[in-house]
Amino acid sequence: MTSSPTAQRPALGFAAICLGYFMIILDTNILNVALPDLRASLHASIAGLQWTVNGYTLVLAALLLTAGALGDRIGLKRLLLAGLATFTVASALCAAAPSTAVLVSGRVLQGLGAAALLPATLALIPHLFPEAARRQRAALAWVATSTLAIAVGPLAGGLLVDAFGWRSVFLVNVPIGVVTVALIAISVAETVPQKATRPDKLGQFLAIAALGLVTAGITSAGSAGWGSLITLLPLALGIVAAIGFVISQHRVHEPLLPPSFFAHRQRTAAVLSATLMGFAFYSVLFMLSLYFQQARGWSAGATGVGLLPATAGTVASTFLFYKPLARRFGHPVMLLVGMIGSAVGGVMFALTDHDSNYLVPATGMVLLGVFSTFVLSSLTTIIISSTPAHHSGLASGVQNTARQAGALFGIAVIGTILNGPGFIGRMHIAAYVTVADLLIGVALAALALRSQSNQQAAEQPAVPAPVRG
């Protein structure tokens, strides 16, 4: 890290970083409860709502890897400030959008800013806190920041929408963004750029094409049907692009996503778990926001209150349960327990009807809130602790790309399932899809735990055989 007076303010710098991270997570969760009001105001379809969410998530997921590597090359502070400025300006554009098309465009620009911002927030942790113990505590605090944003988001969003309309959920980002830029400018030192590398333009193009085309195909299926050409063609092209991406990463000299990154088995399981949990968690928020307002007729504010069990669960898990349990049992065990508990929560949503006692979905939300935090905390710690500091930008980019890609496909799939008559029956199908996703996560977490056990056994010193007389 460069020598600078600002390098002596790691606590203030970390607080500023967490504030920026808080803003982009808050934006996602505030928007969920605003969707019905937004739909009525702009006369948007379900597909329009999906693209309002996914226009942001698509760009974020597609550019995170490039942004993570770019931060290692040009300096993480520079990248962070550029992302914050872009996100703040884009939020103002979204607040003023006169149509769905303009709003989606603003969301795309927000995704561009968040893609620059997000990996830098995690990648700066090893530079601010070189000591391993403080680094792990900071990583958990980073996860706690997202937990607080998730906790505040639905309630704050509901109250803002009821009082000022859906545009206010974007305006709230503007003052937060301005304050965060000022704090980071005075408290965070620039990192030493790594050696210049040639950008993997082909890999970036194929990644964007794969994510965008598959998402477009799934989204179209809700209105056009799975047998329609406008569904099948983008899906087929997206799969071809995905295959091309994998092949290209093994052939280019400086790949966007080095295959060697996945040589570490626990890290690989953690990355895949991030995708699966991103799919499940954001799908449930999308689904329940529509359930409470469309099936039960609640207002946006009441929906925000209704979602509190999920957010309260994440807060309790982060600040009360995870740290002592992880210290005793280890992060791979917590990953497995988290996936199992989240799957049980998903079953509760499948049992929810339009006239169900509120305790049924509330129980599912508490379980999902508590155990999803187990998953996200454990996988973040596994990835950061298994990656050298000089590759922290790449590690952060991979982790966040995996989670956002999961969210992208989750909203596309669940939104497509919900697009049609008979909301409750469709919600049950969507809930079981989420449970299936989490059960795959259970299997992955079990493999990670087994890998840890094998590694520990291999590291044990050999015991000499007893001498027999």
Position 465 in a domain: no
Length of the chain: 469
Residue 114 has pLDDT above 70, yes or no: yes
Lowest mean pLDDT among 111-115, 207-211, 449-453: 449-453
Structural domain of 238: 201-255
Q: Residue 455: pLDDT band by 50, 70, 90 thresholds?
A: low
For the chain, the domain total comes to 2
CB 334 within 8 A of CB 270: no
Q: Quick check: 382 and 332 in contact, CB under 8 A?
A: yes
* Pair 264, 300 in one domain: yes
Q: Answer yes or no: is 468 within a domain.
A: no
Window from 16-30, 112-126, 136-150, 425-439 with minimum mean pLDDT: 136-150
Residue 388 in any domain: the answer is yes
> Are residues 249 and 260 located together in one domain of the fold?
no
For 393-451, write each residue's pLDDT tens digit: 677 778 878 888 898 888 888 988 988 788 899 999 999 999 999 999 999 888 877 76
pLDDT of residue 241: 94
Better-predicted residue by pLDDT, 260 or 97 = 97
Q: How confident is the model at residue 103 (pLDDT cuts 50, 70, 90)?
A: very high
- Considering 238, 255, 272, which residue would you say is the last residue of a domain? 255
Cα 100 from Cα 96, distance rounded (Å)? 11
Model confidence at 216, pLDDT cuts 50, 70, 90, reads confident
The CATH number of the domain holding residue 148 is 1.20.1250.20
> Which pLDDT band, with edges at 50, 70 and 90, does 6 fall under?
very low
Over residues 247-280, the pLDDT tens digits come to 998 888 888 788 888 877 778 888 899 999 999 9
Same domain, 77 and 184: yes
Residue 169 near residue 160 (C-beta atoms within 8 A): yes
What is the reported pLDDT for 459? Answer: 46
Same structural domain, 267 and 138: yes
Q: How many CB atoms lie within 10 A of CB 347?
A: 16
Closest CA to 29 of 218, 196, 187, 161: 161
Looking from the CA of 100 toward its CB, the CA atoms found within 13 Å total: 19
Residue 339 lies in a domain: yes
> Quick one: 153 and 33 in the same domain?
yes
- What pLDDT is stored for residue 360 in this prediction? 95
pLDDT band at 142 (very low <50, low <70, confident <90, very high): confident
Do 161 and 242 fall within a single domain? no
Asked if residue 196 is part of any domain, the answer here is no
Residues 6+ apart with CB under 8 A from 168: 95, 160, 161
Domain final position from 255, 273, 289 = 255
The answer on pLDDT for 335 being more than 70 is yes
CA pair distance 360, 382, nearest whole angstrom: 33
CA angle 294, 360, 433 (to 5 degrees): 70
Q: Which of 194, 186, 193, 140 is nearest to 7 (CA)?
A: 186
Instruction: Tell me: do 213 and 325 sit in the same domain.
Output: no
Closest-CA residue to 122 (of 384, 407, 373, 385): 384
In a domain, 467, yes or no: no
Domain boundary among 228, 255, 282: 255
Residue 118 pLDDT exceeds 90: no
Whether the pLDDT of residue 239 is over 90: the answer is yes
